[in-house]
Chain A
Amino acid sequence: MDWQAIVLSLRLALSTTLVLQVVGMPLAWWVAFSRRRWKFLVEAVVALPLVLPPTVLGFYVLIAIGPRSPVGALYARLTGGLLPFSFAGLLVASVLYSMPFTVQPMAAAFGSVDRKLLEAAWCLGVSRASTFRRVVMPLARQGIATAAILSFAHTVGEFGVVLMVGGNIAGVTRTVSISIYDQTQSLDYNGAWHTSLLLVAFSFVVLAVTYSWQRRAWMLWPPH
């Protein structure tokens, strides 16, 4: 079994989830509460990775982070490194690819927080940041956890985008899905079988735990 690829996938999934928690939370807040007329445009852009084939995303990301693009050139000037075929490049692609899996559950959770509670907090003189931390976060924690779990699982299962931008480097961009693909292509069905089975078991456990935990949470705090 390709443990190096498994560890890499977990590292990528964890990093993607952390970045998305930081980047996705304000975005989800904005999506949930903004009254801008063009909000639907932002929502559509965030949801694009749900409908676009990974090949389209991968192709554009490869060009967008390459040394000929302004983004790639800026990155090269700042860090001296290059984004394509690196862990950082893969992280950029994964963050874009899993964005809807973070923003949508979070925005739904924020949106379902009773506005009266927010207004009450503001009337009592609690700052917006503090309201978010002490009122919204506790009420929306299930949505936030769902966002984290879905983003993590989705990144572990990512294949097309990684195939397009990764370059298949052992320990850097050869994730577990690419490793399985390589194993099947070189007719190592035995290896593919083992790694795939592990992945199926892992995904099942993650989803089963999520659902069981959500149900219990739901029963403890029934909706009003």
Chain B
Amino acid sequence: MKPRRVVSRRLALLMAFAACAAAGAQKLTVAAAADLRFALDELATQYRAAHPEVDLAITYGSSGNFFAQIQNGAPFDVFLSADVDYPQRLIAAGLASQDSLFLYGVGRIVVWVPAGSPLDPAALGIHLLEAASVRHIAIANPQHAPYGRAAVAAMRSLGVYDRVSPKLVLGENIGQAFEFVESGAAEAGIVALSLALKPAGRGHGRYWEVPQEAYPKIEQGGVILSRAPAGPAAQFRAFLLSAEARRILKQYGFSVPQ
């Protein structure tokens, strides 16, 4: 046999294997708001264990960022936003169907300081932000992150915004705002409770929960995009709304809609 034919046979075999593998695993790509990082990581572990046939890939970022990307054809199947506005606008744009919209949790925000901070959030509340030793306050960019908008709304309604706004530094999403504080570069931040409760970080930082009346409710909605394969996407949504998933979301500080 000529060497070239051996190669082409091997190639054919390889391609056949690849085709089988592709048919076996269904791919499901999820774009998720950055506040979900720790909660969804845990949820994904459970989901993968229950559905080994689905190849689940999650990308975290700011909701506004994903919204812009999806509008421009980003290949996501499910979008878990940190609000309901972006999903609704995708429905209006014809990129997702109305009946695919679902509410999976209500987010909460906290004033958060890193482990070594001398400031006590429980005692100072929102006025911690006004302390002289706090030179920078990290929040998510309100232009495209719902948690950033909630943080600004809370500071306004609690009457500290005008005094502390010169100290604000903006993370590209809530995850970066969290990182700014965790790295010590910013002395305090207003972040998602779900991040302040991160598993390894429990007890590493301290927080004060901003009263929920101080900012518009952070209802977090998801949609299945029209391009998604029917089976796994619907199944993933059902999983997120299951009792077990709700328990995990609750554990990470989300209020769960009934």
Contacts and interface: CB of A to CB of B under 8 A. Distances in A.
Interface of A: 62-63, 65-68, 82, 84-85, 163, 165, 167-169, 182, 184-187
Contacts of A168: 141, 169-172
A169 B170 contact: yes
Contacts of A165: 185
B186 interface: yes
Contact of B136 (A65, A85, A184): A85
B180 A167 contact: yes
Contact of A182 (B144, B171, B184, B185): B144
Contacts of A187: 67-68, 71
Nearest to A187: B68
A161 B135 CA distance: 21
A185 B185 contact: no
B68 A185 contact: yes
B27 to A, nearest CB: 26
B81 interface: no
B194 interface: no
B253 interface: no
Contacts of B68: 184-185, 187
Contacts of A167: 136, 138, 169-171, 180, 185-186
A67 to B, nearest CB: 6
A184 B62 CA distance: 13
Given A167-B136, A169-B169, A186-B64, A85 B186 contact: yes
A186 B186 CA distance: 25
A185 B143 CA distance: 8
Contact of B169 (A66, A85, A182, A185): A85
Contacts of A182: 141, 143-144
B251 interface: no
B143 A67 contact: no
Contacts of B64: 185-186
Interface in B136-174: 136, 138, 141, 143-144, 168-172
B144 A186 contact: yes
B174 to A, nearest CB: 14
Contacts of B116: 68
A67 B62 contact: no
A68 B180 CA distance: 13
A55 to B, nearest CB: 11
Given A82-B136, A167-B180, 14 more contacts: A62-B180, A62-B183, A63-B183, A65-B185, A67-B185, A84-B136, A167-B138, A167-B186, A168-B171, A169-B168, A169-B169, A184-B68, A185-B141, A185-B143
Interface in B51-77: 62, 64-65, 67-68, 71
B170 A67 contact: no
Nearest to B72: A184
A85 B185 contact: yes
Interface in B80-106: none
Contacts of A82: 135-136
Interface in B180-209: 180, 183-186
A65 B136 CA distance: 14
A168 to B, nearest CB: 4
Nearest to B187: A67
